[in-house]
Amino acid sequence: MKTLVIHPSDRSTDFLKPVYQDLTNTTVVTEGLDHHEVAREMDRHDRVIMMGHGCPWGLYAIGMRGDHIGLIVNLDHTKDILRNKRNTLMIWCNADIGARRLGLPGFSTGMFISEQSETFLLNAPVSDEVIEESNRCFTEALRCHIHLEEKALFDAVRHDYGRLLGHNPVAAYNHPLLQVQTMESLISWTPPPQRIKLPNTDGTGGYHYIWSDGRPWDGYSNTRI
């Protein structure tokens, strides 16, 4: 099995390197390629591991040549590739939202606190040592179980990382936001409603929005992501 690792060079996510350092038959991409070249590499490999900083729409192209919104992996543009891959890893903040929205199989993280600038999400300040303990434990859990199938990997990582629950508030925040979707679990998946722009028909000119399922657009519904 050929594995592709996409991990843009960034010191703040270097703690994740042990996850893939012992894998064989692996191509590691950290810089140099643009988003088109990365997509072609994804298509050529059996398994794709992506990690770094990102958002619900994909993985940021830190130090690389991304697309028009700064992504080295745009999930909307690569969804047809990723829907046919098994054991995909999407390790960045809010990757789970994109995976759910697009019906992508694999292990993904939700909002994931890994550095001091993200601890505003907690109710109290935490030390760098607490953050580092969380990062080490999560990385070690992934490294130890990286050869497992996606659901078994998810269960094993949740178990091992869960040992910090009760005394590490960073792990307590990150842990429940881990997610796995298998191809089997996505058989009945249907795309969420899309926003549609329509011209007004009341003689006022202009346009309005509705959802593709016929509901009126309220401008705020979380369904749009």
Residues 211 and 151 in one domain: no
Task: Residue 178: name the closest of 161, 165, 166 by CA.
Answer: 161
pLDDT one-digit tens code per residue, 23-42: 999 999 999 999 999 999 99
Domain range for 199 is 195-224
Burial 115-134 (b: 16+ CB within 10 A, else e): beeebeeeeeebeeebbebb
Q: How many residues are listed for the chain in this entry?
A: 225
pLDDT at 221: 44
Residues of the chain with pLDDT under 70: 218-225
CATH code of the domain containing 37? 3.40.50
> Are residues 157 and 219 located together in one domain of the fold?
no
**The 89-91 sheet, strands edge to edge:** 26-29, 3-6, 47-51, 89-91, 106-108, 179-181
- Give the whole-angstrom CA distance, residue 125 versus residue 122: 7
Determine the 3-state secondary structure of 167 from DSSP.
Answer: coil
Same domain, 27 and 130: yes
Structural domain contains residue 219: yes
Determine the pLDDT at residue 204: 77
The answer to whether residue 26 is domain-embedded is: yes
Residue 66 lies in a domain: yes
The answer on 200 and 177 residing in a single domain is no
Cα distance between residue 167 and residue 162, in whole Å: 10
Residue 177 and residue 200 share a domain: no
Same domain, 53 and 97: yes
pLDDT of residue 209: 83
Residue type, 65: R
Taking Cα atoms as reference points, which of 22, 47, 148 lies closest to residue 6? 47
Could you tell me the two tokens for 174?
């990150």
pLDDT value of residue 185? 93
Distance CA 44, CA 2 (A): 8
Looking at the structure, tell me whether residues 17 and 78 fall in a common domain.
yes
Domain count, the chain: 2
97 within domain boundaries: yes
**Whether residue 56 is found in the same domain as residue 86:** yes
For residues 9 and 112, state if they share a domain. Answer: yes
Note whether residue 188 is domain-resident: no
Are residues 206 and 98 part of one domain?
no
- Is 82 within 8 Å of 108 (Cβ atoms)? no
Q: Tell whether 126 and 199 lie within a shared domain.
A: no
Give a yes or no: residue 187 inside a domain: no
Q: 211, exposed or middle or buried, with CB in 10 Å at 0-12, 13-18, 19+?
A: middle
pLDDT of residue 219: 63
Q: Identify whether 186 is part of a domain.
A: no
State both tokens at 22. 């012992």
Q: Residue 107: name the closest of 57, 56, 153, 162 by CA.
A: 153
Answer yes or no: do 212 and 164 share one domain.
Answer: no
Q: Which amino acid is present at 62?
A: I
Query: To 5 degrees, how large is the angle CA 140–CA 108–CA 10?
Result: 65
**Any domain includes 189:** no
